[in-house]
Amino acid sequence: MSHFSQIKTQIRNLTSLQAALTEMGIDWKEGPRAVRGYKGQTYQAEVAIEQENGYDLGFSWNGEQYELVADLQFWQQPWTVNRFINEVTQRYAYQTVVGETSKQGFQIAEQQKNEDGSIRVVLQRWGG
Q: What is the pLDDT of residue 118?
A: 83
Whether residue 119 is contained in a domain is answered as: no
Is 126 within the bounds of a domain?
no
Host domain of residue 94: 5-99
Confirm whether 36 is domain-assigned: yes
* Model confidence, pTM: 0.86
pLDDT digits (tens, 9 = 90+) for 87-119: 999 999 999 999 999 999 999 899 898 888 788
Q: Is residue 128 part of a domain?
A: no
Q: Indicate whether 11 belongs to any domain.
A: yes
Work out the pLDDT band at 3, boundaries 50, 70, 90.
Answer: confident
Q: Is residue 107 part of a domain?
A: no
Q: Is residue 105 part of a domain?
A: no
**Domain annotation covers residue 55:** yes
The predicted-structure confidence for 39-76, as pLDDT tens digits, reads as follows: 999 999 999 999 999 999 999 999 999 999 999 999 99
Cis peptide before 32 (omega within 30 of 0): yes
How high is the pLDDT of residue 117?
79
The answer on pLDDT for 1 being more than 70 is no
Q: List, as one string, the DSSP characters of 20-80.
A: HHHHTT---EEEEEEEE-GGG-EEEEEEEE--TTS--EEEEE-SSSEEEEE-GGG--SSS-
Domain count within the chain: 1
